[in-house]
Amino acid sequence: MKFPPFEFHRPGDLPEAVDLLLSYDGEALPLAGGQSLLPMMAFRLVAPKALIDLSAIPGLDGIELNGDSLRLGALVRWCDVLCSPVIANAHPLLVEAVRHVAHYQVRNRGTLGGSLAHADAAAEFPAICLVSDAMIDVVGRDGKRCIAARDFLLGAMETDLREGELVAAVRFPIWPAGRLWHFREFARRSGDFALAGVAMYCDPDRQAGVCRNWHIACFGLGEVAQRVDAVEAFLEAKPADTAHIREAVLIAQRHLVADGDIHAPAGYRKALATELLGRGLNEVFKAVAGGDG
């Protein structure tokens, strides 16, 4: 469980980091919090020729609220998210999701950019990016690109990042007041990767007793977090009652894709995800009825 040999660089800015990465012809890897990469190296599952440590690049750990978006730098750590008053208001769903990421020690080091680039099927953050229609800013040989989360996440540990490209930041659309949201996951033990989870939000029309603009994603059950567009469309402006929840769950059952592994078979994961979806909808509907945003 010791690392294989590697070279180590700590560039001072993004262009230098990109150049270093390119100079190794695909055999170097960026290092952020190291909470996923270093265990894989200790297991000798990966053996990069060089590590390009991003920690000395200034400006990558910013948390900024601009006119139309919340911008989080790639080096923002889970613990930064949890103690940021800005994010608490600007994206409460994200904060709740991050509470479920790993353990205290890991949250002190793990970063948003690392989580996105690593793209674990059961990771919370990619699911939050997907459900929130986040934009991912990447920097590479040819300068900047902005990629929608939906297009960025391609599969289990597979993203749209090209050789030499780095995640620089993630931008979330502004979060309106009164929005209802819910996050729920199920893991074997606290801190474990979830066997399945669900994140959702919608904007209530309290007068009409309905919700619009549904965004729902399930994660942990398949290769990559999944938006359930069919359920979103179905729920649009539907009255908040149990019959509609039941129907929504059935639709989700038809659309979600699940895989099995040693921890749980596909059938269980799918059943779990739809169960969590039903419970989540129930909570949201209760909030619509109760009027507590």
Partner 1 sequence: MTKANTYVGSSMPRVEDQRLLTGKGEFIDDVQLPGMLNAAVFRSSMAHAIVRRIDTSEARALPGVVAVLSAADLPRPIPRIPIRIAPIEGAERFLQPVIAEGCVRYVGEPLAIVLAESQELAEDALDRIEVDFEPLDPVSGIGDARRNATLLHPEAGTNLVADYQVTRGDPAMADDAALYRRTESFRIQRHTAVPMETRGLVAQWDAGQGRLTVRGAAKVPFFIRNHLARMLGLAQEMVELIELDVGGGFGVRGEFYPEDFLVPFASRAVGRPVKWIEDRREHFMATAHSREMECSLEIACTSEGRIIALRGEIAADLGAYVSPTGPIVPSRAAQFLAGPYHVPVLDLHVVAALSSRTPVGSYRGPGRFEAAFFRERLMDMAARDLGIAPDEFRRMNLIAASDLPYSIGQLVPYEGPASYDTGDYRAVFDRCLEDFGWAERRKLDGREVAGRLHGLGLACVIDSSGAGPGEHACLYLQQDGNVRVHVGSSALGQGIETTFTQIVADELGLHPERIRICHGSTSLLDEGHGSFHSRSLIMGGNAIVVAARALRDAIRNAAAARFGCTGDEIRLQDGRACKAEGQSTAFADLAPLEGRGSFGGAEKPFGYGTHVAHVAVDVGTGHVEIVDYLAVEDAGRIVNPAIVRGQKIGAIVQGLGGALLEHLVYDDEAQLRTASLADYMLPTAADFPQLDAVTLALAPTPRNPLGVKGAGEDAIAGPGAAVANAVAAALSRYGVEPKELPLDPPRIWALLAAAAARACR
115 binds ligand FAD (CB under 6 A): yes
Pick the piece of the chain touching partner 1 (CB under 8 A) from 22-30, 151-159, 183-191, 211-219.
183-191
Q: Report whether 280 contacts 201 (CB < 8 A).
A: no
117 binds ligand FAD (CB under 6 A): yes
Q: Which does 85 bind (CB under 5 to 8 A by kind): partner 1, ligand FAD, none?
A: none
From the list 278, 193, 190, 185, the residue with the least C-alpha distance to 228 is 278
How many residues belong to the site for partner 1 (CB under 8 A)?
26
Pick the piece of the chain touching ligand FAD (CB under 6 A) from 160-168, 199-207, 220-228, 268-276.
160-168
Q: For the range 139-144, what are the long-range contacts, defined as Cβ-Cβ under 8 Å and sequence gap of 24 or more?
A: 139/14, 139/15, 139/18, 139/165, 139/166, 139/168, 140/18, 140/164, 140/165, 140/166, 141/18, 141/22, 141/165, 144/168
Give me the helices (H) in 91-147, please. 92-99, 104-107, 112-118, 124-131
Label residues 35-66 b or e (16+ Cβ within 10 Å = b): bbbeeebeeeeeebebbbbbeebeebbebebe
99 binds partner 1 (CB under 8 A): no
Question: Cα separation of 145 and 58, whole Å?
Answer: 20
264 binds partner 1 (CB under 8 A): yes
Tell me phi and psi for residue 85, to 5 degrees.
Answer: -65, -30
3 binds partner 1 (CB under 8 A): yes
Residue 200 three-state SS: strand
Window 21-60: residues binding ligand FAD (CB under 6 A): 29-37, 39, 54
Q: Which does 34 bind (CB under 5 to 8 A by kind): ligand FAD, partner 1, none?
A: ligand FAD
Among 67, 189, 243, 290, binds partner 1 (CB under 8 A): 189
292 binds partner 1 (CB under 8 A): no
What is the residue type of 4? Answer: P
Name which of 106 and 230 has its Cβ closer to partner 1: 106
197 binds ligand FAD (CB under 6 A): no
Q: How far is the CB of 271 from partner 1 (least distance, A)?
A: 6
45 binds partner 1 (CB under 8 A): no
**Residue 167 structure tokens:** 């995640």
Q: How far is the CB of 235 from ligand FAD (least distance, A)?
A: 27
H or E element in which residue 132 lies: none
**Binding stretches for partner 1 (CB under 8 A):** 1-5, 43-44, 186, 188-193, 195, 262-265, 267-268, 271-272, 275-276, 279
**Binding stretches for ligand FAD (CB under 6 A):** 29-37, 39, 54, 74, 101-102, 106, 109-111, 113-115, 117-118, 120, 123-125, 161, 166-167, 193
